[in-house]
């Protein structure tokens, strides 16, 4: 997304949402990612657009946290720097969610665990009514 697209989708909320997304991507846990070359500009724009568009909107997991999770995953993977044969990895991403104001891994998956996949009762299964 471009900044213009995000501004169009957000309307009056654009600056407020952009400020919050910039805050999420400037947390101390992400500083080593930034220093390693994982630019945040495109991630911030995605955050703004997704927040305003309401993409991936769930009460327990705001869109900004979905985008931040993707960034943390990318940052946590091994990567190479041109001219250096050894891979690098950013390992200090534990609990980034706390500083970013996002649900942690357990909280993110709890709604799935609570609802699970609906299963037919034994009677429904024996009768073929499922």
Instruction: Output the DSSP codes for 17-79.
Output: HHHHHHHHTTSGGGHHHHHTT---HHHHHHHHHHHHHTTT-BTTB-HHHHHHHHHHHHHHS-B
pLDDT tens, 72-98? 988 888 777 778 888 777 667 888 999
Identify the residue with better confidence: 61 or 113.
Answer: 61
CA pair distance 28, 30, nearest whole angstrom: 5
pLDDT tens, 11-64? 999 999 999 999 999 999 999 888 888 899 999 999 999 999 876 666 667 889
């Amino acid at each position: 997304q471009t900044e213009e697209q995000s501004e169009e989708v957000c309307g009056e909320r654009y600056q407020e949402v952009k400020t919050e997304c910039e805050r999420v991507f400037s947390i101390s846990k992400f500083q080593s990612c930034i220093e390693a070359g994982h630019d945040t500009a495109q991630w911030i724009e995605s955050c703004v657009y997704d927040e305003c568009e309401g993409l991936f909107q769930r009460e327990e997991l705001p869109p900004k946290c979905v985008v931040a999770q993707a960034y943390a995953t990318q940052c946590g993977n091994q990567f190479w720097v041109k001219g250096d044969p050894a891979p690098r990895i950013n390992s200090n991403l534990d609990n980034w969610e706390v500083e970013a104001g996002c649900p942690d891994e357990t909280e993110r998956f709890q709604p799935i665990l609570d609802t699970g996949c609906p299963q037919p009762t034994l009677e429904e299964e024996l009768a073929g009514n499922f």
